[in-house]
Structure 1
Amino acid sequence: MSSKVMRKVYALFRMNFLIIVLLVITAVAMFAYRHFLDDIMEINLGEYPYVVASADSVDGGTSAISMTRTDSSVLIEYELREGYAYPYVGIKVYLGDGKTMGRDLSNYDSIFVWLKPRNEGSVRLYMRGYDSALYRKNDETSLKFNEIEFTPTKEPYPAVFVPQEFRVAGWWVSQNEINVHKARVDLSNIPLIEIQTGTNAPLGYGGWEVKGLRFKGKKISQVDLVTTLVALWFVTFLIILIIRFFDYSRERALNKKKQEELKKNLIALEIEKSEYEKSSKEDPLTGCLNRAGFSGVLLREQEKLNRTGSPVSFMIFDIDHFKNVNDTYGHLVGDEVLVNLAKLVQGMIRNTDSLVRWGGEEFVILSEDTSIQNAAFLAEKLRKAIEASTLITQQQVTCSFGVTEMVPGEDPKSLIARADKALYSSKENGRNRVTVATFRRNH
């Protein structure tokens, strides 16, 4: 056998040997990753010292809560009372320094919650995240509200969640005027975990037994493992490329083709991202703006008002007895009411007005270059049109309105609160009416 043939056989043997070794390493690494590299962080609330009870009293509410420790859990007794718009109680679990230096929970892929309720109602789990661009010193509310809301009686015990199920609370984004690019779930620095009563928690007495939380992931992230294996494969194939020097041109052509495909994929991803950002600002049911989309409109109109003094009116309205519609006819009929109402209102307002689905059955209209008197006239016109229309065949539908006007330099929260108060007055005085609230400066 000639030396040339021997060299080819030897080179082929070395190439195959390297590939076999690398395949074995890859298989062992994947097996070890699957079975032996679990990273588990457990918080036994019966033993964990940094747990405190909280209630809506910090927001002016009157709800009460008490917390008792056992060896293996904390026992919560509470009474949800009227007095705050959204009554709540809960517990806070502090990690790290509880402010800016928390725990990185981003590498965990499963979150277990041992919580037994004494009654019905949903529960909110908040992973409060620190972001240096958003945090205000000594202001705990500036920690990002990464949330998930669930009903313990409808979940297994323990309840199990994955990070992808969390979202940033919309009310927090709106309240803090957070840029949409910052309103993303981030679990890389969590100094505080909160468990609170949820949206539909009933008023009155209740209780929980909370044993703890468990975060399960891997000691090495999947990204790091794949990166390492890819690096090993890269080095191996680099050696193979040296052995197969005369095939370099062909390999180069293949790499170029892969790069072109990657570029095409990146362009496709950019297009998909652009479409997603657009859809994230619209309510999928009604086609109206949602709160995320509205925040930019509100900021723009406020800047225009501060600059030019041109009036801007703000009205909030919701469907009277909407819960009865859902309970009586079902959610499909409720959705029909929302869709038809949005179409009716959209057809009666100007293109420059912004119609926003504010929440459940609540809507907002922001009208530029519109005085409060004209806004009140528009609200009354809409009220009559809604009352006279047939949004659904099953029953008549009416709406209550609260109207106000934006004031230069005003905090948006104050504007919204004033409109909400006017809406509440409309409901208190019989519903299906318009109430106007003017700005009163405190002396």
Structure 2
Amino acid sequence: MSSTVMRKAYALFRMNFLIIVLLVVTAVAMFAYRHFLDDIMEINLGEYPYVVASADSVDGGTSAITMTRTDSSAIIEYELREGYAYPYVGIKIYLGDGKTMGRDLSKFDSVFVWLKPRNEGSVRLYMRGYDSALYRKNDETSLKFNEIEFTPTKEPYPAVFVPQEFRVAGWWVSQNEINVHKARVDLSNIPLIEIQTGTNAPLGYGGWEVKGLRFKGKKISQVDLVTTLVALWFVTFLIILIIRFFDYSRERAINRKKQEELKKNLRALEIEKSEYEKSSKEDPLTGCLNRAGFGGVLLREQEKLNRTGGPVSFMIFDIDHFKEVNDTYGHLVGDEVLVNLAKLVQGMIRNTDSLVRWGGEEFVILSDDTSIQNAAFLAEKLRKAIESATLITQQQVTCSFGVTEMIPGEDPKSFIARADKALYSSKENGRNRVTVATFKRTH
């Protein structure tokens, strides 16, 4: 194996190795994120010390509540009584100092509540948030009421929520005249959690067994993880680009030594190509002359015209809507049109006439000893024959013609442009027609 091949194989191995390592790191990171990076905060009410019972008696109500502890839960017994507009009882769980310093619960994406009811009725869960712009010293009601209300059941157990389900209590927004921007859920500083009876809790005796709450999230956010992985991929590809740059520089230094030899070979190939193009006079698809072959015929006819003055006609025609044939039926059908058209025309012109594939769907006929009137007659004859023929079974094919006559001493560009203009006029006037352009002298 050559040294060049070995170097390329080694460079490819390095790049593929880096990509494989990066894929493994990405897979491991995603697996670890899913299974091993959980961030959990638990509050066990059987052990947590900062829990107190509360009732509407602080607001002038008459409801009563008692709380007892077991090793694993808090047992709540209560009686909801009339006497307050919205009778309620509940428990308060203090985090931090219970006022301005709390816990950041916004990083958690799930909230689990272990609460078994003894009777019917909904329950409110309040995450009381501190906002320096809203907090009034020693006024617990100024802590924002981020709430969710649910109806607990004995099974399934526990109740599970996501932060997006919480909303700010409307009565608190109205009571404190909070603007819309401040009335958004914010769990970034929660000094107090409350669990209360809900709006449809019936009056009378009731009770709960509350084991506790669990907040579950990730030690790193999904956005941070994805950002880190994207940065890692970026750095890796940057390293690959640097490696490729040095490999390229090394290859360039090696290739520079062979530059002269390659230039010589290239010049030889260009000469060979030029000679091949000069010798190739025939269109491989239709068998007509190509432009290279036309050049020799044109030169011969110009010399004859300048010498004898005999008429020489130049006819250019192309297939109408040929692009639609290709687009509709495919290029193989388009090639079939070109081949059959060339056969048809070749069979209707003299052996001394030259049929040239001018390019794409355009053809040229160069007729010596032919006046412009006879050329126009021939063009019309060809047009009708093409229109009547079945070049392909899929649809009828027609052609548009432009006819002119060569003038002694005239630049070929001039009569070709004249014929092309006549062809354009045929197309402008509806296609499938012959237009004749005569030479006009300018003084």
The TM-score bracket by the shorter chain reads: 0.5 to 0.7
The change in CA–CA distance for 1:205 and 1:232 in structure 2 (over 3 A counts) is: same
What is the CA-CA distance between 1:258 and the residue it aligns to?
41
Distance 1:354 1:138 in 2: 107
SS at match of 1:154: coil
CA contact (8 A) 1:175 1:413 kept: no
Structural RMSD (CA): 31.6
Distance 2:207 2:165 in 1: 25
SS at match of 2:258: helix
Distance 1:333 1:191 in 2: 79
Distance 2:261 2:163 in 1: 31
CA contact (8 A) 1:125 1:149 kept: yes
What is the CA-CA distance between 1:196 and the residue it aligns to?
0.2
Identity of aligned residues (%): 95
SS at match of 2:41: strand
SS at match of 2:153: helix
The change in CA–CA distance for 1:216 and 1:237 in structure 2 (over 3 A counts) is: same
The change in CA–CA distance for 1:18 and 1:423 in structure 2 (over 3 A counts) is: closer
CA contact (8 A) 1:15 1:240 kept: yes
What is the CA-CA distance between 1:253 and the residue it aligns to?
29
What is the CA-CA distance between 1:209 and the residue it aligns to?
0.9
Distance 2:87 2:355 in 1: 28
Instruction: Give CA-to-partner distance per residue, 1:250-284, whole Å, 9 cap, x none.
Output: 99999999999999999999999999999999999
CA contact (8 A) 1:173 1:292 kept: no
The change in CA–CA distance for 1:295 and 1:247 in structure 2 (over 3 A counts) is: closer
Distance 2:261 2:56 in 1: 55
Distance 1:365 1:85 in 2: 104
> 1:303: which partner in 2?
303
Distance 1:402 1:85 in 2: 99
Distance 1:30 1:98 in 2: 37
Pick which of 176-185 and 340-349 moved more.
Answer: 340-349
The change in CA–CA distance for 1:132 and 1:221 in structure 2 (over 3 A counts) is: same
The change in CA–CA distance for 1:24 and 1:154 in structure 2 (over 3 A counts) is: same
Distance 2:408 2:136 in 1: 24
The change in CA–CA distance for 1:240 and 1:365 in structure 2 (over 3 A counts) is: closer
The change in CA–CA distance for 1:267 and 1:436 in structure 2 (over 3 A counts) is: closer
Pick which of 134-143 and 415-424 moved more.
Answer: 415-424
* TM-score, reference length from structure 1: 0.53
Distance 2:361 2:378 in 1: 19
What is the CA-CA distance between 1:223 and the residue it aligns to?
2.4
CA contact (8 A) 2:333 2:392 kept: yes
CA contact (8 A) 1:174 1:291 kept: no
CA contact (8 A) 1:55 1:64 kept: yes
The change in CA–CA distance for 1:11 and 1:120 in structure 2 (over 3 A counts) is: same
Distance 1:319 1:378 in 2: 17
Distance 1:434 1:61 in 2: 105
Distance 1:279 1:134 in 2: 93
Pick which of 41-50 and 57-66 moved more.
Answer: 57-66
Distance 2:303 2:175 in 1: 17
Instruction: Give CA-to-partner distance per residue, 1:185-209, whole Å, 9 cap, x none.
Output: 2222111110000010111111111
> 1:379: which partner in 2?
379
Instruction: Give CA-to-partner distance per residue, 1:299-338, whole Å, 9 cap, x none.
Output: 9999999999999999999999999999999999999999
SS at match of 2:92: strand
Distance 1:174 1:202 in 2: 26
What is the CA-CA distance between 1:228 and the residue it aligns to?
1.9
What is the CA-CA distance between 1:5 and the residue it aligns to?
6.1
Rg comparison, structure with higher value = 2
What is the CA-CA distance between 1:14 and the residue it aligns to?
2.6
> 1:334: which partner in 2?
334
What is the CA-CA distance between 1:385 and the residue it aligns to?
87
SS at match of 1:53: strand
Pick which of 319-328 and 28-37 moved more.
Answer: 319-328
What is the CA-CA distance between 1:231 and the residue it aligns to?
2.0
Pick which of 233-242 and 405-414 moved more.
Answer: 405-414
What is the CA-CA distance between 1:128 and the residue it aligns to?
1.0
What is the CA-CA distance between 1:104 and the residue it aligns to?
1.4
What is the CA-CA distance between 1:51 and the residue it aligns to?
0.1
CA contact (8 A) 1:124 1:148 kept: yes
CA contact (8 A) 1:241 1:247 kept: no
The change in CA–CA distance for 1:244 and 1:393 in structure 2 (over 3 A counts) is: closer
Pick which of 270-279 and 130-139 moved more.
Answer: 270-279
For structure 2, the residue ranges without an aligned partner over 5 or more in a row are: none
CA contact (8 A) 2:116 2:154 kept: no
Distance 2:206 2:149 in 1: 18
CA contact (8 A) 2:11 2:247 kept: no
Distance 1:99 1:277 in 2: 92
CA contact (8 A) 1:340 1:391 kept: yes
SS at match of 2:75: strand
Pick which of 171-180 and 393-402 moved more.
Answer: 393-402
Aligned residues: 443
What is the CA-CA distance between 1:356 and the residue it aligns to?
84
Pick which of 394-403 and 118-127 moved more.
Answer: 394-403
> 2:322: which partner in 1?
322
Instruction: Give CA-to-partner distance per residue, 1:58-108, whole Å, 9 cap, x none.
Output: 222121111111111111111111121111110000011111111111222
Distance 1:59 1:372 in 2: 113
The change in CA–CA distance for 1:377 and 1:3 in structure 2 (over 3 A counts) is: closer
Distance 1:310 1:63 in 2: 125
Pick which of 406-415 and 10-19 moved more.
Answer: 406-415
What is the CA-CA distance between 1:224 and the residue it aligns to?
2.4
* TM-score, reference length from structure 2: 0.53
SS at match of 2:395: coil
> 1:202: which partner in 2?
202
Instruction: Give CA-to-partner distance per residue, 1:28-54, whole Å, 9 cap, x none.
Output: 111112122222211110111000011
> 1:127: which partner in 2?
127
What is the CA-CA distance between 1:142 and the residue it aligns to?
1.5
What is the CA-CA distance between 1:17 and the residue it aligns to?
1.8
Distance 2:59 2:304 in 1: 32
What is the CA-CA distance between 1:167 and the residue it aligns to?
1.4
Pick which of 222-231 and 392-401 moved more.
Answer: 392-401
For structure 1, the residue ranges without an aligned partner over 5 or more in a row are: none
What is the CA-CA distance between 1:26 and the residue it aligns to?
0.8
What is the CA-CA distance between 1:181 and the residue it aligns to?
2.1
Pick which of 240-249 and 23-32 moved more.
Answer: 240-249
Instruction: Give CA-to-partner distance per residue, 1:235-259, whole Å, 9 cap, x none.
Output: 1122233345599999999999999
